[in-house]
């Protein structure tokens, strides 16, 4: 460490570079000796306001420098200062033996937030898992679907209101195609029932989670894109009691064993008879509150026994490949189906009042499900 300040004789670039290289080396030498063990001594030595070496040298050299060299000198002093500051800020770059002393263990660590499943996915997994435990497997289908699978094979009459373009988002430029081949965004997961039955003979036990689309205006309970889980069970001797027992079990598994279910007559073109399933209000236990509109019950899903017309449509398709196919003959087999809205169930599970939260990407909302 040299303390005396040698006056500069020459101010051309080469001489300045040489002088500053010596100083940079000196910074490195003093850094190796003190920067990590005693950073304050290192700082005072170089940057001290009154006796700091940088200050003394710059005063001495600038004083004797010709005016045209002052800029070149200034630039080099700034670089030197940056080198000294960088040495002070980076204790980790100091020699290994003293690096440990450079770590301030009282500083907060770098927080890494691991990703979590989206609340809708979480609810989907929960529902699917309840049915996996009953021996169901999972099927998926396309979101861009044909009129045949989405409506025709599901026994929707030609002028059923659900086919109306008010509800259904259709793919453009399909008019030249036969009506059964026209493409649309699927309005429900039920078309995958048809795809599954065309592909496989009974016994069938599947759940179908997925995205569906409707030309609905978004409000607190509607979204043009939402999620459903469909179920289908087809075998010999499947009865309405099996449907009731299965869904009663599923609702208890999802909402707690105190929950009661009741089945209300309803209508869907692809089931006969059809029912809406209600559960006793999980907020008031059935006494009646604002959430259940003082009825004590919350409507949760649609279901029913597979309509023979659906089996007939499936059989007609399968016979195109095997004219003798009789696997879905409604005289021999029966089945039940059900469909539920994932958003609606997640909203009830978590007491969420606006469906829009699911799609907002607002971390304050999403973090609550971590
Ligand atoms: N697909 C119906 C809908 O989107 C829901 C549904 C009702 C599905 C009854 C079913 C069922 O499988 O049996 O409104």
Residue 33 Cα to ligand 1 midpoint, Å, equals 77
- Between residues 91 and 135, which one has the greater pLDDT? 135
- Closest-CA residue, ligand 1 atom 6, reads 339
Distance 7 CA to ligand 1 centre (A): 92
Q: In the predicted model, is pLDDT for residue 4 greater than 60?
A: yes
Q: What is the pLDDT of residues 186-244, one digit of tens each?
A: 999 999 999 999 999 999 999 999 999 999 999 999 999 999 999 999 999 999 999 99
Residues 231, 336: Cα–Cα separation, whole Å = 8
Between residues 110 and 168, the one the model is more confident about = 168
How far apart, in whole angstroms, are the C-alpha atoms of residue 240 and residue 231? 14
Task: Give the separation between CA 351 and CA 297, rounded to whole angstroms.
Answer: 15
Indicate if ligand 1 lies below 6 Å from the C-beta of 342.
Answer: no
- CA-to-CA distance for 238 and 200, rounded, in angstroms? 17
Strand partners, 185: 144
Q: In the predicted model, what is the mean pLDDT of residues 54-60? A: 88
Coil, strand, or helix at residue 293? coil
Secondary structure element (H or E) that encloses residue 344, with its range? helix 342-350
Domain ranges of the chain: 13-101, 119-369
Domain covering 119-369: architecture: 2-Layer Sandwich (3.30)
Structure tokens at 225: 């894109």
Q: How far is the CA of 264 from the centre of ligand 1 (A)?
A: 14
The model's pLDDT over 253-306, given as tens digits with 9 standing for 90+, comes to 999 999 999 999 999 999 999 999 999 999 999 999 998 999 999 999 999 999
Cα–Cα nearest to 302, from 281, 272, 277: 277
Regarding the beta carbon of 335 and ligand 1, being less than 6 Å apart is answered: no
CA nearest ligand 1 atom 4, residue: 188
CB 304 within 8 A of CB 268: yes
Is the CB of 271 inside a 6 Å radius of any atom of ligand 1?
Answer: yes
Instruction: Work out the pLDDT band at 51, boundaries 50, 70, 90.
Output: confident
**Nearest-angstrom CA–CA distance, 9 and 233:** 97
| Euclidean distance between CA atoms 352 and 342, whole angstroms | 13
Which of 229, 339, 344 to probe ligand 1 with, by most ligand atoms within 8 A of CB?
339
């Amino acid at each position: 460490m040299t303390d005396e300040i040698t006056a500069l004789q020459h101010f051309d670039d080469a001489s300045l570079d040489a002088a500053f290289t010596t100083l940079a080396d000196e910074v490195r030498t003093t850094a190796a000796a003190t920067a990590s063990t005693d950073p304050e001594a290192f700082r005072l030595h170089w940057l001290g306001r009154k006796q700091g070496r940088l200050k003394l040298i710059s005063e001495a050299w600038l004083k004797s420098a010709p005016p045209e060299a002052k800029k070149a000198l200034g630039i080099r002093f700034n670089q030197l200062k940056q080198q000294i500051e960088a040495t002070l800020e980076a204790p980790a770059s100091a020699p290994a033996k003293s690096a440990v002393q450079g770590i301030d263990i009282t500083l907060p660590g770098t927080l890494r937030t691991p990703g979590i499943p989206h609340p809708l996915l979480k609810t989907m997994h929960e529902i699917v898992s309840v049915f996996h435990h009953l021996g169901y497997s999972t099927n998926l289908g396309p979101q861009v679907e044909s009129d045949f699978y989405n409506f025709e094979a599901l026994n929707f009459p030609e002028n059923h209101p659900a086919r109306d373009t008010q509800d259904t988002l259709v793919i453009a430029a399909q008019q030249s195609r036969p009506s059964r081949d026209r493409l649309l965004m699927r309005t429900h997961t039920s078309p995958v029932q048809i795809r599954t039955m065309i592909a496989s003979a009974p016994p069938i036990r599947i759940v179908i989670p997925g995205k569906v689309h409707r030309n609905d205006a978004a409000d607190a309970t509607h979204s043009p894109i939402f999620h459903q889980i469909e179920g289908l069970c087809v075998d010999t001797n499947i009865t309405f009691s099996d449907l009731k027992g299965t869904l009663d079990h599923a609702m208890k598994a999802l909402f707690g064993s105190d929950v009661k279910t009741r089945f209300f007559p309803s209508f869907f073109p692809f089931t006969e008879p059809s029912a809406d399933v209600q559960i006793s209000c999980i907020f008031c236990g059935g006494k009646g509150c604002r959430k259940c509109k003082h009825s004590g019950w919350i409507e949760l899903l649609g279901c029913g026994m597979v309509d023979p017309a659906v089996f007939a449509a499936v059989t007609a398709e399968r016979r195109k490949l095997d004219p003798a196919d009789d696997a879905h003959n409604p005289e021999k087999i029966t089945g039940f189906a059900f469909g539920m809205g994932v958003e609606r169930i997640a909203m009830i599970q978590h007491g969420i009042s606006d469906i829009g939260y699911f799609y907002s990407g607002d971390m304050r909302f999403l973090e609550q499900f971590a």
